[in-house]
Amino acid sequence: MLMKRCEWCVGDPLYEAYHDNEWGVPVYDDSTIFEFLILETFQAGLSWITILRKRENFRKALDDFDYKKIATYDESKYNSLLLDEGIIRNKLKIKSTITNAQLFMSVQKEFGSFSEYIWSFVDGKPLQNKVKNYKEAPANTEISDAISKNLKKRGFKFVGSTVIYAHMQATGMVNDHEVSCFRYNEVRSLSKKD
């Protein structure tokens, strides 16, 4: 028997694997939250499947998404990233990755962890939507607006409300699996382990 999945991922094995194993699963680990934040910022204006196909290239180019290392990237490293055909070679997005890594650590210092900061916008618990068709899912919400505004105030780049809402979906801050999807109830049952 075939499992019913969210319609947006059906037909591409990479998309299906991402959907089945990662999308919508609550993430409380700073390193993973940072990885998704960077991937989402590179996605701005592009499709998510484009980013997924380049994810391993990004992983290699960006030192396994190690924000502590990325925060120290110099002009030489920046220039080498601009020449890396395996990633999205957008000058502003690459610069913002370095800036955002530095600011990510500032937020950690202030709140103890970036996770504590970002999850505070949803009181530490995933929001449960009841999406029947993925086209019903919003592109942004009041909460993503608030997070975006707060991050921008802190100096983060490429963190518009739509990017932040996609980040919320990816990291399980919101469950936007279609209610008919086999992952909807599985993801719904997940919560922070104390």
Q: What is the pLDDT of residues 4-19, one digit of tens each?
A: 999 999 999 999 999 9
Residue 191 scores a pLDDT above 80: no
Q: Residue 175: which H helix or E strand, with range? A: strand 174-175
Q: Which residues are catalytic?
A: 18, 40, 48
The model's pLDDT over 41-85, given as tens digits with 9 standing for 90+, comes to: 999 889 999 999 999 999 999 999 999 999 999 999 999 999 999
Residues 6+ apart with CB under 8 A from 87: 42, 54, 57, 58, 61, 62, 81
Token code pair at residue 108: 């950690």
Residues 6+ apart with CB under 8 A from 89: 81, 82, 83
Q: Residue 169's pLDDT is what?
A: 96
Q: Residue 3's pLDDT is what?
A: 82
Q: Residue 189's pLDDT is what?
A: 86
Q: pLDDT-derived band of residue 178, with 50, 70 and 90 as boundaries? A: very high
Residue 78 buriedness (CB in 10 A; 0-12 / 13-18 / 19+): middle
Q: pLDDT-derived band of residue 188, with 50, 70 and 90 as boundaries? A: confident
Percentage of residues of the chain with pLDDT beyond 90: 90
With a threshold of 0.85, does the pTM exceed it?
yes
Sign of the alpha-carbon dihedral angle for 191, 112, 94, 161: positive
CA distance linking residue 180 with residue 185, whole number of Å? 9
Token code pair at residue 94: 């690459």
The model's pLDDT over 95-133, given as tens digits with 9 standing for 90+, comes to: 999 999 999 999 999 999 999 999 999 999 999 999 999
Q: Which residue has the higher pLDDT, 192 or 82?
A: 82
Q: Residue 193's pLDDT is what?
A: 47
For residue 40, which of 30, 50, 31 has the smallest C-alpha distance?
50
Mean pLDDT of the chain: 94
Q: What is the largest CA-CA distance in the chain?
A: 53
CA atoms within 13 Å, Cβ hemisphere of 168: 34
The model's pLDDT over 140-159, given as tens digits with 9 standing for 90+, comes to: 999 999 999 999 999 999 99
Which parts of the chain fold into alpha helices (H)? 13-21, 30-43, 48-61, 67-70, 75-82, 91-111, 114-119, 142-153, 161-170, 182-188
Q: Residue 194's pLDDT is what?
A: 39
